[in-house]
């Protein structure tokens, strides 16, 4: 397997739900999980233009004597043999350096607060920094594992939205899952304008072949429109876009999506290099 997903394993009931989502994602994409069982509550991730210190809550160090066995047992249920990551370099004795040479990373909505305190509508600051800095997409999990049976791409017309769309098309090809697109029409924009954008980016044929339905919402009640998103789909979005409408991460639309749908989300940040 040449595709790798990085997962920080937490040996708790909430951590089990998160790991099951990573395993299901890996199974769908024929990817391999790289599992990090932390021995410290902090580590550094060195990105191209940023260094992110990740602060874990204490639950990530729970029951270290059974963590490896629990991770192995969960992976075996999916016929997956995980790789276990051991940091080779340390900035300080209790501050390991973690490589960023992965294709995907899995995060709960926050890595620095207990899951019992985290609801929908919130992404922790460390997860935001990872999304902003990483060259890989970040899988942000739902509180409880539920297999996703389709893909839902939110498309706003920006450059990063197009990268997210390419990501969705790629996952649809590999996984065989149907793909739907969702666009909120705003500020007098028309359906034709968005179709012109994908045509200019040589995506029209791929959309015609792979997209099950492209939903255009022309009513302003965005939260109500989100009812059309299948409950059992993986939501895919771009971050920090400035197209015909802004993309959906770290703005009002993102907060609305998180509070209105409980789906897992795959987010492509501004440094994500799309694979065609």
Q: Are 143 and 122 in contact (CB under 8 A)?
A: no
pLDDT at 242 over 70: no
Closest CA to 240 of 227, 251, 225, 252: 251
Q: Are 248 and 257 in contact (CB under 8 A)?
A: yes
Q: 1: how many CB neighbours lie within 10 A of its CB?
A: 13
Percentage with pLDDT > 90 across the chain: 68
Please report, for the chain, the start and end positions of each structural domain, with discontinuous segments joined by +.
4-140, 150-268
Q: 4-140 adopts what CATH topology?
A: Rossmann fold (3.40.50)
117 vs 171, higher pLDDT: 171
pLDDT at 149 over 90: yes
Q: 150-268 adopts what CATH topology?
A: Rossmann fold (3.40.50)
How far is Cα 207 from Cα 161, in angstroms, rounded to an integer? 14
Give whole-number Cα distances, 239 to 47, 160, 216, 265, 266, in Å.
Answer: 17, 7, 20, 12, 10
pLDDT of residue 43: 96
pLDDT at 172 over 80: yes
Closest CA to 19 of 77, 58, 61: 77
Q: Would you say the CATH fold of 150-268 matches that of 4-140?
A: yes
Q: How many residues does the chain have?
A: 276
How far is Cα 249 from Cα 129, in angstroms, rounded to an integer? 12
Assign residue 84 a region: left if phi > 0, alpha if psi is -120 to 50, beta otherwise?
beta
Q: What is the pLDDT of residues 1-14, one digit of tens each?
A: 589 999 999 999 99
pLDDT of residue 247: 42
Q: Are 57 and 41 in contact (CB under 8 A)?
A: yes
Please give the mean pLDDT across all residues of the chain.
88
pLDDT at 119 over 60: no
Q: What is the mean pLDDT of residues 168-174?
A: 97
């Amino acid at each position: 397997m040449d595709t790798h997903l990085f997962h920080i394993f937490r040996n708790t009931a909430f951590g089990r739900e998160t790991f099951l989502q990573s395993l299901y994602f890996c199974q769908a994409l024929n990817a391999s999980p790289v599992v990090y069982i932390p021995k410290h509550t902090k580590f550094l991730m060195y990105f191209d233009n940023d260094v992110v210190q990740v602060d874990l809550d204490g639950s990530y160090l729970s029951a270290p004597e059974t963590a490896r066995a629990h991770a192995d047992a969960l992976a075996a249920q999916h016929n997956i043999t995980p790789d276990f990551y051991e940091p080779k370099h340390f900035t300080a004795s209790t501050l390991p350096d973690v490589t960023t040479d992965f294709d995907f990373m899995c995060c709960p909505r926050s890595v620095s607060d207990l899951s019992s305190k985290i609801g929908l509508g919130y992404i922790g600051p460390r997860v935001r920094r990872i999304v902003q800095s990483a060259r890989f997409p970040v899988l942000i999990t739902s509180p409880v594992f539920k297999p996703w049976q389709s893909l839902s791409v939110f498309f706003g017309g920006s450059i990063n939205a197009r990268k997210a769309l390419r990501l969705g098309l790629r996952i649809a090809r590999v996984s065989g899952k149907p793909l739907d697109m969702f666009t909120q029409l705003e500020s007098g924009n028309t359906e034709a304008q968005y179709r012109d954008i994908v045509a200019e980016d040589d995506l029209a044929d791929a959309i015609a072949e792979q997209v099950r339905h492209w939903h255009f919402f022309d009513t302003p009640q965005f939260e109500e429109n989100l009812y059309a998103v299948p409950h059992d789909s993986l939501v895919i979005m771009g971050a920090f876009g400035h197209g015909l409408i802004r993309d959906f991460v770290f703005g009002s639309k993102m907060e609305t999506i998180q509070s209105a749908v409980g789906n897992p989300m795959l987010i492509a940040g501004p440094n994500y290099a799309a694979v065609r």
